[in-house]
Every structure is written in C-alpha cells, then in structure tokens.
Chains A and B, each alone.
Chain A
Amino acid sequence: MEEFEREIKEFLISTLSLEDISVEDIVSEEPLFDTGLGLDSIDSLEIGIGLQHKYGVKIDSNVDDVKLHFASVRNLAAFVAARRSA
C-alpha cells in the first residue's frame, strides 16, 4: 500500500504540475485541500478526470463521499485501490 501511496503522490504532482514539492514532501495523512497541500476546487476536478484516465476509476459525486476520499493521499490511495479491484 505504501508503494501505491507513493504512486498517487507522483500522480498528484504531475497532474497538478505542483512545484517545489517532491514525493518525499507529501505526508500521506496530511489534508489535500484547504490546509496541507492547499488544493482547490479546480484541482479536485482535475484529479477526478486524471483518476478516470489513469486508473479507469469514475467518481460520482452523487454517490461517492468525495470529501472523504479526497481528504488525504492515504484515503485517495485506499479508494482507488478498492475501486480498481472491485
């Protein structure tokens, strides 16, 4: 799982062209939005599109608890991993 969290971090850095941030700088539990990485609504949208592209995981904001799944790298990795194997 740690390996996959690392992959998700790489995915975030490249999808959002984050600057001055390396995989090592992202803590798996830190919040992605507001505080922590400080991502915003547009980033969230792009992450959604990116996940579908890369992992074939579709997010339905009516059904999925987006806020929970996008809360941290840890949550996001768990969500993508679970959905992929489903």
Chain B
Amino acid sequence: MSVRSLDERGASELLVRVPENELVMGVSHTGPVSNEALARRQRGVWREVRSRPSGPVGLVCRDGINFSAGLRAILGCGRDVIIAPDDTPAVLSDIGDRVTAIVADFPTGHGHEVRVDEGDSEAAPDEVRAEGSPRVHFFTSGSSGERKLVTKTAAQLVGEAKLLEQMWGPVVEKGLIAGTVSHQHLYGFLFRIVWPAITGRPIYGPTLEAHRVAEVAAREGIGALVSCPAHLRRLPSLVKGGSDVVEFSCIFSSGGPLDFDTALACRRSLGSAPVEVYGSTETGGIAWRQQSDSDEVPFRPFPGVEVRVRREVLEINSPHADVGVEPWTTTADRVEMTEDGRFTLQGRVDRIAKISGKRVSLIEMEQRLLERPEVEEVAILPMVDETRGRELTAALVVLSSHGRTRLKQEVRRELNDSLRAGLRESFPLEVIPRRWRYLSTIPVNTQGKRVVSELRKLAEQRSDREVTGLEVLEVCREDTRAEFRCVIPEDLSYFDGHFPNVPIVAGVVQLAWVCQLAKDAFEIQVQPSSLEGVKFHSLLRPREEITVVLDWELNRRKLRYEICRASVKIASGRFVIQQ
C-alpha cells in the first residue's frame, strides 16, 4: 500500500467528518463527550471561522477533544491551520501576527479569538464537509535553536495515522488513547488526535501529568499511552507507590532515546515495553523498535519509508516528510545499518561545541559522566562567563542516591573535583565543566525535550551562597512551581547578634530568601511589602535542611510560598505580584 495514493480530498474528508452518534469520542475533565457533542463544538467553530476574513487560522486548546473539534472545523472551512507549539504569551502573539483567527478553549487575550463552545445549545445544524486542500503547519520545538515552520498535507497526516492503525491498532483493543506529551506537536498530534479521529478510537482529552497517569488509568481505562523518555523514567516508580494496578496494551515513546532500564521497568510495572518511535517534525515517523528483552534491538523503518547511509549519517526518503523537501533528507543522526535493513542509532551528528578553541563532543562528555556511579542524568551546556568573557561548559547533574550521599558528606568542591578528574583523561582541561549544578530533575518541555534556553537559565544561576545566603542543594522546576532543597550555612552574617548563643534565622531574612528564589525561578520581582497571610510557625537554625516551595498562581497574580523542615512547616504566606 502506498501512502501517497491517498488523495487530498479523501484525506480531508476522513478528518473533517464527525459521525453523528451517541458513541463516546473522548473523556475530558468534566466527563465523557459523545460524537454528537463533538460535532456541535465543531460546527460552532466552523460557523465562526467562516465569517472571519480568509487566511490561515491558529489553533491552541488545552483539551484534546476541543482541539479535535477546532482542527476539524478549520479544515472544514478549507483554511490552513497553524498549531501553536505552546500557550505562552510570546508564542500566542507570534501566531497572532500570522493568522486571521485563533481557535482556543481558554482566554488567550487575542483579538481574533474564536472560543470552542462546550455548551449543548445550537441553532440550525449544518453539515461540515471537506473543502479545498488545506494544510497543517507545525513549529519545531526549538530545542536546538530557532523555531521553524513545518508543513503537512491532510493526506500526509492521515497516511501516517493509517500506518499507526495498521501496525498497532490490533494491539490496542480497548481503552482510551491518552498522552503525557502535548497534542500541539506533531508526535502527540498524530497519536492523540489524528489516529483516533480517523478510527473512532476514544481519547482522554487533557494532557496528563506523570503523577496523574495511574489515577486516570484506573478510573477511565487507558489502552495506549503516548509519552516520552523523560516522563517514562518517572512513571514506574510513581505507579508502584499507588494502590492502582496500571497496565497499558501499548506505550509509545518519542522525542529522544529511551534507555533499556526504563524500558524494562515499564515492561515490569506498566504492562509492556514502550514502542520507541524515531522521527522528527520535519521527517515524520522514520522507524520504530521495542526493547523487550535486549537493548540491542535495531530500529525498523516504517513501511513506505526508505533509508540509506551516507558517511555514517542516516538519510531518508519518506511520504511523511515536510512538503517541498528534496526526495532524500539528511537527518542529524549517525547510524549503523544491519544486514536486514534495520539500523542502530550511534548518536547525533551535531552538538559539537568549540570551547576556547577546543572542539568537544557534548554528547561524549555526557556519556562519560553517566558512567559515574554518582550521576543519574546529565546535560552539558556550552556557555560564556560574562564577567570574564570566556567560553566554558556547565554541567547540570541529577545525582544518584550515592551521589547525593557524597554531596551531603563532602563540600561541593570535592564532588566537583572528583567528577572533573574523571573527565581529564578524555578531554582537554579547557572544556571540562567549570560550573556544576546539582538538580533533582533536568527540566524538559511538553515534548519531553530539553530546551537549551531553559537549561542555560539554570546554569547561569550562581550555585554558591553569596546570592541568597542559602546553600541550594537541589532545584526542581516546573512551569509555575519550584522547589528548592537548601541548607542554612553555619556562618551566615545574619546570625551575628541574632541572638547571642542562640542563632536563629530572622523572619525578614527568610522573606528575603523567598524573594531571591522567586526571582531566580520565575524572573519575577516580589516585594516584601506586598505580603499577605504571613505566618512563622517554627524557629529555623543554622545547619538545618529546608525545602522552599514556590507556587506561582498566574491568574490571581499571587506567589505562594512555604518553608518546611522535613514535614514541619516553618513559614508560609503569599506575595501579590504587581504587573
């Protein structure tokens, strides 16, 4: 079967038509949604978009069901769709400049917004049919630099989704298709939206946070989980702690290499080893593998995708690749082919940095560090020390339990030096990391990919105590939440005279710490004068280990904080953030 044989009209029609029946098409926060309800939402958007000036239409929805309604409505108008890569103000304003309307299921603040109406009233129902040959535009994730627009035709999208059904449809017999990765990027879009749309498979609308997977799976029944290595690494232990038995017929992973240990852990506690999908926004799906018993399973190209190797680098010829791309596309991955046409990935071609004149493979350095018992995850970043104007590397490290023990027993310098010493054999001194940041996780975006600009922010925060007077051991950052595990040093100047022989941390000092940490984490200015509900529950002394938790409530423009020692609450309160 050739995927190209699917014509545009037929593909569009498959996507746009919503069957008029009572079957459940998905489950949202508020409960099940029927095909009829989806069709109503689709028609609502369709009527609105048709009345807007011609031109492409933006799409950004937090719920996959609303997203599906919006997508199918816009295509039904014969308009091109631009999918927002996330819902940050910067992205929405960038998209806003390119479109005549933005379809959304939350207030975007955009002037041309069309809201998906979840209500059940309707005037005269229209039948939405395919029109023209609209295309769908995606932004690449920007993990390696500038965002780029990538274009797909309806035939390409439906063709790729048909392939998914052909390969994994028989495995996923029942249950919802749910995902921890966003549907606003190609991978989540294909697996969570298009595949279900053309096959009538029900979906779980919201994008799942890793810690909610077990609960939703137990309540709603999830057949296939669309995820990524960063999330899958955490899932088995999250599931193990709970009372729910969680099993998926199929787990998908994409966005980066999945380590064998995680594959095994998933097989043991989630019911199956993940199917790893290798591809990119530009190329679409290229190949897949499942590490069930061995980590040496090569990737098998998808039917219809041709692969070849030139100077160790993989090239592909695929019907799923970006419109307008040459027949053969060079990827950024080095591979080794096996005799039966499968291949193993040998690392990226790029990520070579030049530090003070010396070339260094950042990946190789990361691999060296991963061999250390102290290191669980690591990211090496090239950067510039602004005060000196010199190029250097920074290492963001997630320590193993062994590493954490060392960090507790020794001063930071000893651990830094020991990790540096291990690199000296393979790398020139100039490129060996000068800055070491010990974190509880390495942050990833909704696609499970590391974003260089985010990592750089972490590397640029000074690790030592001058900034806050606190020794920060670990930082765990999510979008609107940050957790800092810190130790209060013995020799703080704050203790002088406060009080003789009984040194305690004054409340005003604690507040100053919170202000500084908030600035580091969210780049927001908070003033102690804007405080509400301040409470100091217990005393804080030198050498104690504390956790500072910051919750930024964007809508209410408040920053809640809590300082805890073990499970004892020390202080809490809220800052009101002025614009």
User: Which residues on A are within 8 Å of B, measured CB to CB?
Assistant: 16-17, 19-21, 25, 33-35, 38-42, 46
Closest A residue to B428 by CB, please name it: A40
Question: What are the residues of chain A within 8 A of B385 when measuring CB–CB?
Answer: 17
Question: What are the residues of chain A within 8 A of B424 when measuring CB–CB?
Answer: 34, 38
Mask, B448-463, CB within 8 Å of A = 1, is: 0000000000000011
Closest A residue to B394 by CB, please name it: A19
Please state if B436 and A42 are interface contacts (CB–CB under 8 Å). no
Report the bound CA distance from A46 to B391 in whole Å: 13
Question: What are the residues of chain B within 8 A of A38 when measuring CB–CB?
Answer: 417, 420-421, 424, 429, 432
Which of A34, A35, A46 meets B388, CB within 8 Å? A46
Report the bound CA distance from A3 to B388 in whole Å: 26
In this complex, the member of A19, A21, A35 whose beta carbon has the largest number of chain B beta carbons within 10 angstroms is: A19
Interface presence of B408 (CB below 8 A): no
Please state if B463 and A34 are interface contacts (CB–CB under 8 Å). no
Question: What are the residues of chain B within 8 A of A17 when measuring CB–CB?
Answer: 385, 387-388
Report the bound CA distance from A38 to B432 in whole Å: 9
Question: What are the residues of chain B within 8 A of A41 when measuring CB–CB?
Answer: 429-430
Please state if B420 and A40 are interface contacts (CB–CB under 8 Å). no
Report the bound CA distance from A61 to B463 in whole Å: 35
Mask, B343-357, CB within 8 Å of A = 1, is: 000000000000010
Report the bound CA distance from A21 to B436 in whole Å: 12
Q: Find residues 549-571 in chain B having any chain A CB closer than 8 Å to their own CB.
A: none
Closest B residue to A26 by CB, please name it: B413
Please state if A20 and B416 are interface contacts (CB–CB under 8 Å). yes
Please state if A20 and B413 are interface contacts (CB–CB under 8 Å). yes
Q: How far is the CB of A76 from chain B (nearest CB, A)?
A: 18
Closest B residue to A41 by CB, please name it: B430
Question: What are the residues of chain A within 8 A of B428 when measuring CB–CB?
Answer: 40
Q: How far is the CB of A19 from chain B (nearest CB, A)?
A: 6
Cross-chain pairs A/B with CB under 8 angstroms, 7 sampled: A19-B462, A19-B463, A20-B463, A20-B464, A40-B428, A42-B356, A42-B430
Question: What are the residues of chain B within 8 A of A39 when measuring CB–CB?
Answer: 429
Q: Find residues 420-440 in chain B having any chain A CB closer than 8 Å to their own CB.
A: 420-421, 424, 428-430, 432, 434-436
Interface presence of B90 (CB below 8 A): no
Known: A35-B421, A38-B420. A19 touches B356 (CB 8 A): no
Interface presence of B412 (CB below 8 A): yes
Known: A38-B417, A42-B356. A19 touches B434 (CB 8 A): yes
Please state if A16 and B388 are interface contacts (CB–CB under 8 Å). yes
Q: How far is the CB of B270 from chain A (nearest CB, A)?
A: 39
Q: How far is the CB of A39 from chain B (nearest CB, A)?
A: 8
Please state if A40 and B430 are interface contacts (CB–CB under 8 Å). yes
Q: How far is the CB of B296 from chain A (nearest CB, A)?
A: 37
Interface presence of B502 (CB below 8 A): no
Question: What are the residues of chain A within 8 A of B508 when measuring CB–CB?
Answer: none
